Each structure stands twice: as C-alpha cells, then as structure tokens.
Amino acid sequence: MSRRPYRPPEQSRAGQVIDVVVILALVFGALWAPAFLGMTGAGTVTRELADPTWQSLGQTPEMQQAWEKLGMTPETAAPAILTRFDYSIDPLTFGLTAFLLVAYFVFIIRISGREYRQVIAERFGEDEGEGRL
C-alpha cells in the first residue's frame, strides 16, 4: 500500500494579507482598549510635607550630596521624592482580565484540538470524530 505525500492546504496571498491585518488590528485593540476603557493604572500619589528637610524626606548624607549636585534643595526635591506610583488593584477589573485570559486560552486549545483532528483525518483517512483529545 503506497501512501501519497501529505500536502497541507495552501492559503492565498489575499488570505495571508487578511490574516496579517486582522492580527495587527487585534494587537492594536488589545493595547489600546485598556486605555480607552479607563482600565490603565491609577497614576501617582504625592504625599505632602509642610517643611521638608533631607532627614524628613528619608535621605542619607550620600543621597543628599547627589541631590545637591543636581542643584536641588529639600523643597525642590520633595515632589520627586514624595511622589509614588499607585499600585492599588481593582478586584473587578482584575477578575475580568483573568476571566478573559482563561477564556482565550480555552478557546485556543479547543480550536487547536479541532484542527489537529482534521489534519490527522486528512493525513490518515480517519473519521474526524475518532480519538478525541
């Protein structure tokens, strides 16, 4: 029994261009959507200090010298030292993101399994329904 070599289906150039455009649109959307929906970081939080000194800013003598080399005083360096990123997490947004990631991977695994069974059926002539993954 001689087997013919397997030849996978070929995709046209137009199909390849459409695939690239769709993937680029999805990547752009994935990067832009959180900013558009207001799901990006909360920004920064600046603590106020009435009369800043190097000690009240928590600066060591070495740090103080470095700031002074930059021409800074405790008053001018205070905003840079006291501004912190806000790392608070919104549980609803976190849960939604986790759900979307899990749903995406389940979708990919199911589609990949289906395509895998189709390729095996094309190659070996088995029924598509046999040998579930």
Please write the tens of the pLDDT for every residue from 116-133.
Answer: 988 888 878 765 455 555
Residue pLDDT, tens place only, 50-84:
888 999 999 999 999 999 999 999 999 999 999 88
pLDDT, greater one: 49 or 110: 110
Residue pLDDT, tens place only, 9-40:
788 999 999 999 999 999 999 888 888 887 77
Contacts 24+ apart (CB under 8 A), 103-109: none
Q: What is the pLDDT of residue 22?
A: 96
Evaluate whether 60 touches 81 at the Cβ level (below 8 Å). Answer: no
- Res. 105: pLDDT tops 90: yes
Q: Is 77 exposed, middle or buried (0-12, 13-18, 19+ CB in 10 A)?
A: buried
Q: What is the pLDDT of residue 93?
A: 83
CA torsion angle 81 90 31 20 (round to 10): 150
Q: Which of 24, 21, 81, 92 is nearest to 55 (CA)?
A: 81
List the beta bridge partners of residue 46.
83
Domain ranges of the chain: 13-42, 45-87, 89-133
